[in-house]
Amino acid sequence: MAVQTKVSFKTDAKPWWCPGCGDFAVLAALQRAATQLGLRPENVVLVAGIGCSGKIGDYFGSYNIHVLHGRTMPVAQGIKLANRNLTVIAASGDGDGYGIGLNHFIHAVRRNIDLTYIVMDNHIYGLTKGQYSPTSEKKFRTVTSPAGVYEQPIQPLVLALAAGATFVAQGFSSNVNQLTDLIMKAIRHKGFSLVNVLSPCVTFNKVNTYDFFRANLVDVADGGGHDPHDRTAAMRRITETGGLVTGLLYEEEGPSFQDYIPGYPETPLTEAKIDLPTSEWDKILKEHFG
């Protein structure tokens, strides 16, 4: 038997993210996590959305599908349902995932589809030159909000917990070791896993910077006593910190969506025998077309 060697999940494509962009660290953490888990590129699919974050698929050495704006969840769910043997990872930015893709996100959470969702949250639209995003803080000034943002920001961790998420974690681009560990745990988790990553945009967001997060972030384990199996405690911790908390906030073991589907086959659709004898085709044609 051939010895399985580790792979780096790297590609020859050169990232065009701005120097210092937090997404570099997210890519590195994802590559490390996949390697340490012993995954094989041919068994992994990365579904990437639109925006700076969407380029991650070009730099991660597995199958990659680059979808329409906000549509990572429908595609990722379809892939997982068609082939349960694949490790399916979706990647979005805060605009892609919590803006136009928010409805898909909520329904993927409540279904508890067995996939991992990594959201690079920089509180701004980077690719389109600095407009405010769904997670931008109130009063935040941008090219599209010169007088400050009027809306309350989306709180993705709270939304995920309220929708029934079975795995909720938050990482920070400056802490690659912790982020790698969180992604590994998310991939191992049976069910829907959200890893929100505070990933600074060094070009357009001069407020939510590395220094800002280093000065304000707390680890969920700080002070001890946090029970990651207590949804109420996780919600309380997020509220107390204003969302400026990292680590594994909540995890619940249990069946995933596929386990509830009557007759859902163990054999992936890609390997199923779907050929019918001519007599059966004749019956179908006669039934529907006379």
pLDDT digits (tens, 9 = 90+) for 55-64: 999 999 999 9
Q: Give the Cα separation of 65 and 58 in Å (integer).
A: 9
Per-residue confidence band for 269, with pLDDT thresholds at 50, 70 and 90: confident
Half-sphere exposure of residue 123: CA atoms within 13 angstroms, side-chain side = 27
- Rounded to the nearest 5 degrees, what angle is found at the Cα of 111, between the Cα atoms of 238 and 158? 10
- Domain boundaries of the chain, sorted by first residue: 23-289
Decide if pLDDT at 105 tops 70: yes
Q: Give the Cα separation of 290 and 287 in Å (integer).
A: 6
Considering the domain delimited by 23-289, tell me its CATH architecture: 3-Layer(aba) Sandwich (3.40)
Q: Give the Cα separation of 263 and 268 in Å (integer).
A: 13
Question: 129 near 143, Cβ under 8 Å?
Answer: yes
Q: What's the predicted TM-score (pTM) here?
A: 0.91
Whole-number pLDDT of residue 277: 84
pLDDT digits (tens, 9 = 90+) for 129-183: 889 899 999 999 988 899 989 999 999 999 999 999 999 999 999 999 999 999 9
The whole-number average pLDDT for the span 253-257 is: 91
- Rounded to the nearest 5 degrees, what angle is found at the Cα of 160, between the Cα atoms of 168 and 20? 60
Query: 218 has which bridge partners?
Result: 245
> What proportion of the chain, given as a percentage, has pLDDT over 90?
77
- Look at residue 168 and give its three-state secondary structure: strand
Which one, of 71, 78, 172, 161, lies nearest residue 121 by Cα?
172
